[in-house]
Amino acid sequence: MISVERLPKDLGFASKAFHKKLKNEIKKATAYYAGAMPAKTFEFSCYKHEEIKKQLTTLFNGKCAYCDSSIVHITYGDSEHFRPKSIYWWLGYDWDNLLFACEKCNRTAKNNQFPLYKGVKTKCAPGDTKAFDKEESRFRLLVNPCLEDPETFFEYDTKKAMIVPKKNLSTDPKKLEMARTSIDVYGLQRHELVVERHKHIILLLAQVDSATTAIANYNKMYSYSLSIRNYFEANMAAEVKKLLVYLEPSRQYLGLTKQILRKFFKENRLKCPF
């Protein structure tokens, strides 16, 4: 999971035809939930609209908001409700509640789960901003990459390719519970995902070794001629540049990549570019 900057935005990018349909759907949903909470969730459809999906795909660089896997080359992905529409129905068409997710994180793992701290039950209702803000600040247990930096919650065991709560969270019970709950609810330790992370680690560490060797070779050339030093310097720069490709926004597992590269830049006394 990696932080995603979500600038304040409404659905102004959508067409007039979409807004007409949305207005009608909001009216129907409000009437549907006017009485006692129905057993069946209202069939929202506007959030699935092509214009919404396109914006979400761009915002999340074609990657899942939860597992940070690249998905658009193999599937369409889901317009996911962070707070489930089955519980927070009035957010079923709220742009800020929509994320881009893979089917495994969304449908198989998270689904309609939205646990709250210490088992508290939601008291939120449409228009009750006081109750919502209280729940958001004190009881929400799922990390939202658009609301907080996941790198302050998670780190990686690079030998096992597993995501774990950051060690420094031991002094903050609420954040520690958020990290543990998010890993569990989003299914971030599922076997297939761990295997893909492991493949990523192997490739990245191979390039780290190449860059480290190039730096060491350059450092041995201090007494050689300028032309020889220039050759080794160019080779060193090229190998480091190959590492920086792994930091492109569209690359998967950026949190894991940054952890590994921070160590590389520190050990080689180089300025970290992020």
pLDDT tens digits, 180-226? 999 999 999 999 999 999 999 999 999 999 999 999 999 998 889 99
CA distance 273 to 25: 46
CA distance 183 to 188: 5
pLDDT at residue number 135 = 93
- Asked whether residue 199 falls in the same domain as residue 141, the answer is no
Q: Which of 127, 156, 185 is the last residue of a domain?
A: 185
- Asked whether residue 147 falls in the same domain as residue 22, the answer is yes
- Asked whether residue 116 falls in the same domain as residue 209, the answer is no
Residue 8 confidence (pLDDT) above 90:
no
CA distance 232 to 236: 6
pLDDT at residue number 50 = 86
pLDDT at residue number 93 = 86
CA distance 20 to 23: 5
- Asked whether residue 202 falls in the same domain as residue 160, the answer is no
- Asked whether residue 119 falls in the same domain as residue 229, the answer is no
Q: Classify residue 8: in a domain, yes or no.
A: no
The answer to whether the beta carbons of residues 189 and 162 sit under 8 Å apart is yes
Residue 134 confidence (pLDDT) above 90:
yes
Q: Which residue has the higher pLDDT, 248 or 48?
A: 248
pLDDT at residue number 58 = 93
Q: Classify residue 82: in a domain, yes or no.
A: yes
pLDDT at residue number 39 = 84
Question: For 268, what's the count of Cα atoms within 13 Å in the CB-facing half-sphere?
Answer: 23
Q: Which of 153, 185, 217 is the last residue of a domain?
A: 185
Give residue 203's domain range: 191-267
Number of H helices, E strands in the chain: 8, 4
pLDDT at residue number 115 = 94
- Asked whether residue 84 falls in the same domain as residue 153, the answer is yes
- Asked whether residue 54 falls in the same domain as residue 180, the answer is yes
- Give 244-267 pLDDT, tens digit per residue: 999 999 999 999 999 999 999 999
pLDDT at residue number 35 = 81
pLDDT interval class at 106 (50, 70, 90): very high
15: three-class secondary structure by DSSP? coil
- Asked whether residue 65 falls in the same domain as residue 170, the answer is yes
Residue closest to 29 by CA, chosen among 40, 18, 43, 17: 43
DSSP 119-180: GPPP---TT-HHHHHHHHHHTB-S--TTTS-GGGTEEEETTTTEEEE-GGGGG-HHHHHHHH
* Segment 128-156 mean pLDDT: 95
* Segment 165-189 mean pLDDT: 96
What residues contact 238, with CB distance under 8 A and at least 6 apart? Answer: 214
Give rounded-to-5 percent helix, strand, coil for the chain.
50, 5, 40
Q: Classify residue 6: in a domain, yes or no.
A: no
* Segment 116-128 mean pLDDT: 90
- Asked whether residue 134 falls in the same domain as residue 154, the answer is yes
Give the count of domains, the chain.
2
